[in-house]
């Protein structure tokens, strides 16, 4: 007979525990030799698991059979902590009754001395990590009945604290009373009452002084708890509001000013009714707590130096109602700030008295202008914008009225303003004269034609009266091909009495304007050449031999060489003719009009001029612009034939045209013979004699380089077309090159995956319809849903409503297969839904549609880290997603990860640890905009009807609250805890590799 596997026996026992199989469990214990202290991979014994997920009967049976009550889990928890965390009173009583039994010492007989430290388990034992007692755990998790049992029956210490003050770990010390005040009113009040009745108090148990953090939390909860403290902890409560003062660097507060500083006006009014002094006198009766050591002063001196009287604090914090109550109760209307106290004021630093501050506030409020408010971009022009502005306007008006009442009260009581105080009204805004509208571009030729009243034949250059008229006449001559008038205006003096010197061509030329462009657009090419000749001869730095040659070219019956030479001696241009030609943009004009003759002439004129490197760079840019945006392939073809269209780009023109969504140019480049013919024409007619390799070899090398460039990665044209968003281009490439449907890029992306990555939803549907493999994956095993829902670049879906509609229309069986497909991207083994959730998506239409479409299978899959998607949700405290995920698969709430934690356990831990890590529940947070900012500085959204305080998108308390609610409604007996099997562990290890 083969030996029994102890691992299998332990696994069998553990499964019986979570299945609550008491009969089978008893039978196993009676018929088999079971090691009750054997631990699973998470460090739990059978008793630990029974307390976590079993029944009271199973727990009692284990204890009766000698299960060790003093053992701790691998996470540093004993059975008392596990019982308190679960909150089941029957299990808690079973454990506590056994723990409290005095004869447990028998269990330790024969144990080595190293194990005797484990016998520290008792009602006030602290967990190893965050030092939490069972009572603190029960209170923090709102287990009221369990907390009551611990206090009344087992006499737990009600004043015990949890956590430790550790800045490096980001933790604090928390009192059980503080944990109770994280809960809603109906839970908070009975817990506070119970704790106070059993010895808890406002006093810090270690310092024997009132705890400021505990008191501040009580002040924030106001009507929920203050009356309980005043009744059940009266002595400490009264001492806190009448005697306690806390001093730290640059700040000194008592309970009343602490409430004011925190923006709790109603609470401050209530404190006055309880007996808080309206005016503080510093004497030996005060209990001053120095949170930081004052330099060179005793605590009383330092505190007095930095303490603001309540009425000054109320005036500064915009609480005029409180000011009036303070005055009625005896506050000094002439309370004054010292220069030392005022040095840290953010506003109104010149103010010293109460009345100073009130007047400064009133001036500021009265000068508020609602037209200067900036609404959120998403509500501009909507009724919500008007509501928010009206809300702020009403709040400002109300505050003005209250300050005016406080001002009148102060004046009636003899309050004074500081000598020399000068609260100047802000200057009246000066109306800014609108700028004169500038004409950034020259008028088009049609506009100029409209403005010109006369034809060139009617113009007499000797009768033109103004310089502007002369410029217009020059343009008219170029437009109408009047060479006589052109030369008369540029090669000699003109105007009445010949008072104007020759017009410089460069003076009336610029970007996309001037005589040259006018002549080209009018197809007066001879005139355009003449303009270039004139512009050249007008250059100051032209060589004499070139100048003489041009004089001879321009000379005619009206203009001799000598007359031209004499006239142009008066004017010299510093702008070269080449700049006039290049800046005119005549090539673009030919392309725009799709006039091949005009384009050829423009290219010819550019090529006739001496070229520099900058001109070659310009040609490169021009050629590439044609590839990206040109809608006339003949223009690019002509450009290649005449210039070679020099290139420096690694990306081929075909891919660049496709990337830019240029269907015309893609069609052109797909016909490679036509494109190569243009390059061959250039090679045949271009001078290669200056090349070192010789003309023939250089021509061959040029053609080879062009061919290689044209063919470079041309199988990715469909990928580029998809990125461009041009659906017609995608359809064209698919029809022209259907063999590209499954081609992979260097990153392993097919066209379908490319469409998913870039969220080209329409293109994705076209590809699927064309027969693309929907299960294609990239090197990380990510399918189209992985990449579509959250791209590798970190982008969520841009159009969630559109994608949600598409997902609902797709074949469900296909989607189910895709949703269950895993990728090996870290941490490995994630389905599309798990990968999306791990990146914290918004609860948009896509997320809703995915849950609606998906079956529960993807939600219960463990990834390479051993987590289900619900583990990820709870671990990141995504309270905006958790309800919908749990409702889709409630049983997954009880699935363990390899560390033995269910999603519910994770939510519980986050809630338990959250407050110690400075997370505050929504019940303990203010529901208004932070009061540290003056009302005028509040943004408009703070006055919206649905505004309920600062946003917290990762709230551990709310996540736990929802999880607990849904767990209670479903019931752990309906969905028993599911342990991680050995097969699953092996699978997780495989993914983790």
Give the pLDDT confidence of 746-801 residue by residue, as tens digits. Answer: 999 999 999 999 999 999 999 999 999 999 999 999 999 999 999 888 888 888 99
Contacts of 519 (CB under 8 A, 6+ apart): 478, 479, 481, 525, 527, 528, 531
DSSP H or E run through 186 = helix 185-197
Of the pLDDT bands very low, low, confident and very high (cuts 50, 70, 90), residue 452 is very low
Reading the block at residue 659, the tokens are 């990337």
- Does residue 432 surpass a pLDDT of 50? no
- Does residue 114 surpass a pLDDT of 50? no
716-735 pLDDT tens trace: 999 999 999 999 999 999 99
Residue 621: C-alpha distances to residues 2, 210, 398, 441, 627 (Å): 82, 75, 63, 22, 10
Bridging pattern class, strands 244-248 and 171-175: unpaired
Which of the pair, 340 or 814, is modelled with greater confidence? Answer: 814
**What pLDDT score does 821 carry?**
96
- Give the integer Cα–Cα distance in Å for 279 and 535: 89
Residues facing residue 166 across a β-bridge: 171
**What pLDDT score does 659 carry?**
94
Residue 360: C-alpha distances to residues 365, 385, 397 (Å): 9, 29, 16
**What pLDDT score does 721 carry?**
96
Reading the block at residue 907, the tokens are 């939510």
Residue pair 322/312 in contact (Cβ under 8 Å)? The answer is: no
Kindly give the interhelix angle for 185-197 and 144-152, rounded to the nearest 10 degrees: 0
**What pLDDT score does 762 carry?**
95
Residue pair 978/895 in contact (Cβ under 8 Å)? The answer is: yes
| Side-chain-facing half-sphere of 932: CA atoms under 13 Å | 5
**What pLDDT score does 648 carry?**
65
Average confidence (pLDDT) over 64-72 = 91
For the ranges 859-868, 943-952, 960-969, which has the lowest average pLDDT? 943-952
Which of the pair, 5 or 497, is modelled with greater confidence? Answer: 497
**What pLDDT score does 6 carry?**
61
Nearest Cα to Cα of residue 261 among 303, 225, 223, 219:
219
Residue pair 52/91 in contact (Cβ under 8 Å)? The answer is: no
- Give the integer Cα–Cα distance in Å for 612 and 371: 56
Average confidence (pLDDT) over 887-916 = 93
Residues facing residue 895 across a β-bridge: 978
Contacts of 390 (CB under 8 A, 6+ apart): none
Reading the block at residue 992, the tokens are 């983790």
Contacts of 51 (CB under 8 A, 6+ apart): 59, 79, 82, 83, 86, 91, 95
Bridging pattern class, strands 161-166 and 171-175: antiparallel
Domain boundaries, the chain: 445-581
3-state SS class at 565:
helix
Residue 417: C-alpha distances to residues 333, 348, 356, 400, 962 (Å): 11, 13, 5, 19, 55
Residue pair 519/527 in contact (Cβ under 8 Å)? The answer is: yes
Reading the block at residue 185, the tokens are 């009113």
**In sequence order, which ranges of 609-716 are alpha helices (DSSP H)?**
613-629, 633-643, 653-659, 663-670, 672-685, 695-711
Report which DSSP code applies to 252.
Answer: E
**What pLDDT score does 655 carry?**
92
For the ranges 142-156, 189-203, 209-223, 924-938, which has the lowest average pLDDT? 924-938
Residue 820: C-alpha distances to residues 269, 554, 668, 824, 901 (Å): 60, 82, 43, 13, 23
Q: What is the mean pLDDT of the chain?
A: 86
Of the pLDDT bands very low, low, confident and very high (cuts 50, 70, 90), residue 425 is low
- Give the integer Cα–Cα distance in Å for 950 and 932: 13
Of the pLDDT bands very low, low, confident and very high (cuts 50, 70, 90), residue 450 is very low
- Does residue 1 surpass a pLDDT of 50? no
Radius of gyration of the chain (CA): 43
Angle, vertex CA 193, rays to CA 187 and CA 199, nearest 5: 135
Percent of the chain at pLDDT > 70 equals 91
- Give the integer Cα–Cα distance in Å for 920 and 660: 51
Report which DSSP code applies to 128.
Answer: T
- Does residue 549 surpass a pLDDT of 90? no
**What pTM value is reported for the model?**
0.81
Average confidence (pLDDT) over 857-865 = 94
Category of 67 on φ-ψ map: left (φ > 0), alpha (ψ -120 to 50) or beta: beta
Nearest Cα to Cα of residue 587 among 638, 647, 629:
638
Average confidence (pLDDT) over 245-270 = 89
Average confidence (pLDDT) over 741-750 = 94
- Does residue 107 surpass a pLDDT of 50? no
Contacts of 262 (CB under 8 A, 6+ apart): 216, 219, 220, 926, 931
Of the pLDDT bands very low, low, confident and very high (cuts 50, 70, 90), residue 441 is very low
Residue pair 924/221 in contact (Cβ under 8 Å)? The answer is: yes
- Does residue 502 surpass a pLDDT of 50? yes
Nearest Cα to Cα of residue 653 among 668, 642, 641, 638:
668
Nearest Cα to Cα of residue 134 among 77, 172, 187:
77
- Give the integer Cα–Cα distance in Å for 230 and 677: 97
For the ranges 108-112, 667-671, 823-827, 870-874, which has the lowest average pLDDT? 108-112
**What pLDDT score does 9 carry?**
64
Residue pair 49/58 in contact (Cβ under 8 Å)? The answer is: no
Of the pLDDT bands very low, low, confident and very high (cuts 50, 70, 90), residue 433 is very low
Core vs surface per residue 388-404: b (16+ CB within 10 A) or e: bbebbeeebeebbebbe
Residue pair 580/514 in contact (Cβ under 8 Å)? The answer is: yes
Core vs surface per residue 331-358: b (16+ CB within 10 A) or e: bbbebbbeeebbeeeeebeebbbbbbbb
Average confidence (pLDDT) over 328-334 = 94
631-650 pLDDT tens trace: 889 988 888 888 887 666 67
Residue 116: C-alpha distances to residues 73, 107, 552, 750 (Å): 16, 10, 118, 64
641-679 pLDDT tens trace: 888 876 666 778 899 999 999 999 999 999 888 989 988
**What pLDDT score does 8 carry?**
64
CA 479 from chain centre, in angstroms, equals: 57
- Does residue 558 surpass a pLDDT of 90? no
Which of the pair, 8 or 801, is modelled with greater confidence? Answer: 801
Which of the pair, 301 or 137, is modelled with greater confidence? Answer: 137
- Does residue 212 surpass a pLDDT of 70? yes
Average confidence (pLDDT) over 688-702 = 80
**What pLDDT score does 929 carry?**
77
**What pLDDT score does 953 carry?**
63
CA-CA-CA-CA torsion sign (511, 516, 521, 522) = positive
CA-CA-CA-CA torsion sign (554, 555, 559, 560) = positive
**What pLDDT score does 197 carry?**
95
Residue pair 151/158 in contact (Cβ under 8 Å)? The answer is: yes
Average confidence (pLDDT) over 675-694 = 82
Which position has the token pair 């100051």?
540
**What pLDDT score does 736 carry?**
94
Average confidence (pLDDT) over 608-627 = 81
**What pLDDT score does 460 carry?**
82
| Side-chain-facing half-sphere of 76: CA atoms under 13 Å | 8
DSSP H or E run through 161 = strand 161-166
For the ranges 274-278, 427-431, 509-513, 928-932, which has the lowest average pLDDT? 427-431
- Give the integer Cα–Cα distance in Å for 349 and 385: 34
Kindly give the interhelix angle for 89-100 and 56-64, rounded to the nearest 10 degrees: 20
Angle, vertex CA 695, rays to CA 691 and CA 698, nearest 5: 70
Of the pLDDT bands very low, low, confident and very high (cuts 50, 70, 90), residue 271 is very high
């Amino acid at each position: 007979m083969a030996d029994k596997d102890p691992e299998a026996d332990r696994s069998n026992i553990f499964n019986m525990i979570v299945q609550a199989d008491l009969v089978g469990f008893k039978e196993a214990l009676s018929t088999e030799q079971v090691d009750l202290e054997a631990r699973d991979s998470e460090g739990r014994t059978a008793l630990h698991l029974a307390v976590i997920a079993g029944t009271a009967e199973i727990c009692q049976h284990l204890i009766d059979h000698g299960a060790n009550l003093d053992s701790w889990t691998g996470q540093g928890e004993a059975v008392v902590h596990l019982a308190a965390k679960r909150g089941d009173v029957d299990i808690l009583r079973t454990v506590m009754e056994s723990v409290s039994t005095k004869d447990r010492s028998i269990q330790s007989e024969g144990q080595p001395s190293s194990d005797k430290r484990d016998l520290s388990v008792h009602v006030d034992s602290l967990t190893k990590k965050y030092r939490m007692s069972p009572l603190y755990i029960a209170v923090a998790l709102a287990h009221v009945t369990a907390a009551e049992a611990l206090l009344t029956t087992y006499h737990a210490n009600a004043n015990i604290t949890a956590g430790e003050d550790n800045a490096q770990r980001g933790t604090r010390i928390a009192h059980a009373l503080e944990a109770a005040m994280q809960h809603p009113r109906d839970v908070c009040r009975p817990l506070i009452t119970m704790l106070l009745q059993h010895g808890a108090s406002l006093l810090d148990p270690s310092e024997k002084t009132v705890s400021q953090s505990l008191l501040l939390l009580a002040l924030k909860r106001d009507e929920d708890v203050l009356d309980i403290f005043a009744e059940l902890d009266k002595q400490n409560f009264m001492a806190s509001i009448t005697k306690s003062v806390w001093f730290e660097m640059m700040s000194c507060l008592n309970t009343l000013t602490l409430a004011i500083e925190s923006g709790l006006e109603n609470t401050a009014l209530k404190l006055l009714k309880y007996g808080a002094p309206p005016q503080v006198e510093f004497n030996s009766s005060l209990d001053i707590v120095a949170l930081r050591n004052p330099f060179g002063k005793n605590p009383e001196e330092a505190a007095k130096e930095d303490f603001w009287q309540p009425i000054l604090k109320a005036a500064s914090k915009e609480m005029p109602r409180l000011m009036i109550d303070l005055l009625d109760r005896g506050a000094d209307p002439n309370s004054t700030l010292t220069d030392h106290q005022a040095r840290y004021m953010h506003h109104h630093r010149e103010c010293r008295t109460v009345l100073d501050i009130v007047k400064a506030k009133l001036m500021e409020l009265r000068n508020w202008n609602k037209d200067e408010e900036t609404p959120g971009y998403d509500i501009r022009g909507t009724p919500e914008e008007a509501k928010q502005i009206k809300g702020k306007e009403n709040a400002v008006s109300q505050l003005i009225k209250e300050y005016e009442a406080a001002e009148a009260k102060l004046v009636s009581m003899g309050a004074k303003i500081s000598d020399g105080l000068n609260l100047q009204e802000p200057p009246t805004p000066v109306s800014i004269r609108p700028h004169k509208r500038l004409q950034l571009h020259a008028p088009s030729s049609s506009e100029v034609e409209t403005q010109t009243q006369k034809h060139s034949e009617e113009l007499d250059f000797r009768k033109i009266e103004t310089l502007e008229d002369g410029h217009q006449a020059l343009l008219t001559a170029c437009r109408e091909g009047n060479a006589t008038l052109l030369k008369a205006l540029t090669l000699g003096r003109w105007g009445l009495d010949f008072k104007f010197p020759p017009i410089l061509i460069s003076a009336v030329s610029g970007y996309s304007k001037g005589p040259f462009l006018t002549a080209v657009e009018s197809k007066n090419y001879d005139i355009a050449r003449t303009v270039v000749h004139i512009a050249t001869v007008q250059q100051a730095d032209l060589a004499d031999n070139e100048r003489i040659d041009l004089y001879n070219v321009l000379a005619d019956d009206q203009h001799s060489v000598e007359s031209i030479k004499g006239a142009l001696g008066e004017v010299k241009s510093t702008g070269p003719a080449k700049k006039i030609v290049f800046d005119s943009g005549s090539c673009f004009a030919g392309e725009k009009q799709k006039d091949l003759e005009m384009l050829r002439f423009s290219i010819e004129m550019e090529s006739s001029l001496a070229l520099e490197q900058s001109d070659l760079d310009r040609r490169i840019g021009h050629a590439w612009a044609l590839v990206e945006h040109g809608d006339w392939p003949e223009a690019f073809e002509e450009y290649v034939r005449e210039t070679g269209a020099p290139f420096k780009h690694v990306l081929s023109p075909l891919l660049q045209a496709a990337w830019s969504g240029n269907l015309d140019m893609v069609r052109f480049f797909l016909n490679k013979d036509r494109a190569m013919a243009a390059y061959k024409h250039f090679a045949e007619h271009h001078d290669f004699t200056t090349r070192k390799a010789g003309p023939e070899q250089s021509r061959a090398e040029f053609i080879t380089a062009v061919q290689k460039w044209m063919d470079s990665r041309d199988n990715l044209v469909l990928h580029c077309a998809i990125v461009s968003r041009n659906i017609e281009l995608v359809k064209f490439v698919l029809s022209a090159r259907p063999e590209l449907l499954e081609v992979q890029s260097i990153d392993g992306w097919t066209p379908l995956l490319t469409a998913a990555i870039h969220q080209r939803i329409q293109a994705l549907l076209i590809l699927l319809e064309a027969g693309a493999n929907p299960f294609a994956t990239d090197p990380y095993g990510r399918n189209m849903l992985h990449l579509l829902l959250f791209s590798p670049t970190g982008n969520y879906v841009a159009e969630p409503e559109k994608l949600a509609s598409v997902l609902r229309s797709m074949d469900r069986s296909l989607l189910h297969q895709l949703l269950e497909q895993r990728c090996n991207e870290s941490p490995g083994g994630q389905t599309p839904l798990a990968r999306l959730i791990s990146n914290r998506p918004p609860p948009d239409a896509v997320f809703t549609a995915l849950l609606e479409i998906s079956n529960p299978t993807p939600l219960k899959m463990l990834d390479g880290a051993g987590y289900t998607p619900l583990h990820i949700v709870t671990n990141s405290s995504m309270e905006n997603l958790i309800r919908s995920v749990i409702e889709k698969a409630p049983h997954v709430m009880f699935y363990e990860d390899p560390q033995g934690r269910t999603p519910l356990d994770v939510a519980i831990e986050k809630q338990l640890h959250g407050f110690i890590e400075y997370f505050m529940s929504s019940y303990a947070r203010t529901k208004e905009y932070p009061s540290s900012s003056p009302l005028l500085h509040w943004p408009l959204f703070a006055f919206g009807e649905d505004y309920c305080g600062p946003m917290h998108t990762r709230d551990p308390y709310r996540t736990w609250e929802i999880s607990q609610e849904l767990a209670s409604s479903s019931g752990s007996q309906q969905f028993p805890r599911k342990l991680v099997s050995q097969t699953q562990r092996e699978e997780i290890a495989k993914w983790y590799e």
